[in-house]
Amino acid sequence: MSDDPGSDADTARVSPSGFSHLDSRGAARMVDVSAKPVSVRTARATGLVRTTPEVVARLRDQSLPKGDALAVARIAGIQAAKRTPELIPLAHPIALHATEVELDVGDDGVRIAARITTADRTGVEMEALTAVAVAGLALMDMIKGLDPAAVLTDVRVEEKSGGRSGHWVRSSDRVGAADQAETAETR
């Protein structure tokens, strides 16, 4: 490990605070993942756009004034996943091998799910979250004339696999910051 404060070549190097994304001076840095092995990694994230019964009905019968809102949101989510490192400062630019964005119209709004797959040295959780968030924002743009109070909520990682931490699934009985889902290294 180098004593040069500008060198962070050692992937195991962690700041005195214990955070890998901070250097020894406490400044933000992109973690060096070059020594990690390439492995298949996936992440699945979800979110919900809550809206009115009128908008739900219009989504179902495809009669929104702006056109096919679900198709626009799906494409926006896919596009956003590919641009994650431009939006999230410390995210690594990685090749995405598969990006799926699904939108399901329910009685209370639209559920959004994204699944991202890569074969790389770092995970794709941020790409999955970005896909869900931007798909939700695009959908809100398409419906704002009918429901300016629509809400994008519950954006979260549901599952991830690959890499050193193995397979992780969100516990169904816990949500948000208090979620303590277990990592199953043997799955």
Higher pLDDT, 142 or 8: 142
Predicted pLDDT at 176: 52
d(CA 111, CA 153): 10
Q: What is the DSSP string of 102-114?
A: EEEEETTEEEEEE
Owner of token pair 């956003």: 80
What letter does residue 65 receive in the DSSP assignment?
A: T
Catalytic residue among 108, 141, 147, 154: 141
Confidence class for position 11, pLDDT limits 50, 70, 90: very low
Question: What integer best gives the mean pLDDT of the chain?
Answer: 86
Predicted pLDDT at 28: 80
Predicted pLDDT at 20: 76
Judge whether residue 10 has pLDDT over 80: no
What ranges in the chain are assigned the alpha helix state H? 53-60, 69-82, 84-87, 125-143
Judge whether residue 187 has pLDDT over 50: no
Domains of the chain with bracketed CATH: 49-161 (3.30.70.640)
Higher pLDDT, 8 or 99: 99
Instruction: Verify whether residue 141 is a known catalytic residue.
Output: yes
Judge whether residue 138 has pLDDT over 50: yes
Judge whether residue 2 has pLDDT over 70: no
Predicted pLDDT at 72: 98
**For the whole prediction, is pTM greater than 0.85?**
no
CA dihedral sign of residues 86, 89, 93, 99: negative
Mean pLDDT confidence for 33-58: 95
Confidence class for position 175, pLDDT limits 50, 70, 90: low
Question: Which of the residue ranges 37-41, 130-134, 179-183 has the most confident prediction, judged by mean pLDDT?
Answer: 130-134
Burial of 114 (0-12, 13-18, 19+ CB in 10 A): buried
d(CA 21, CA 14): 8
Owner of token pair 């931007």: 134
Predicted pLDDT at 35: 85
Mean pLDDT confidence for 173-186: 46
Q: How many CB atoms lie within 10 A of CB 68?
A: 13
Judge whether residue 48 has pLDDT over 60: yes
CB 52 within 8 A of CB 147: yes
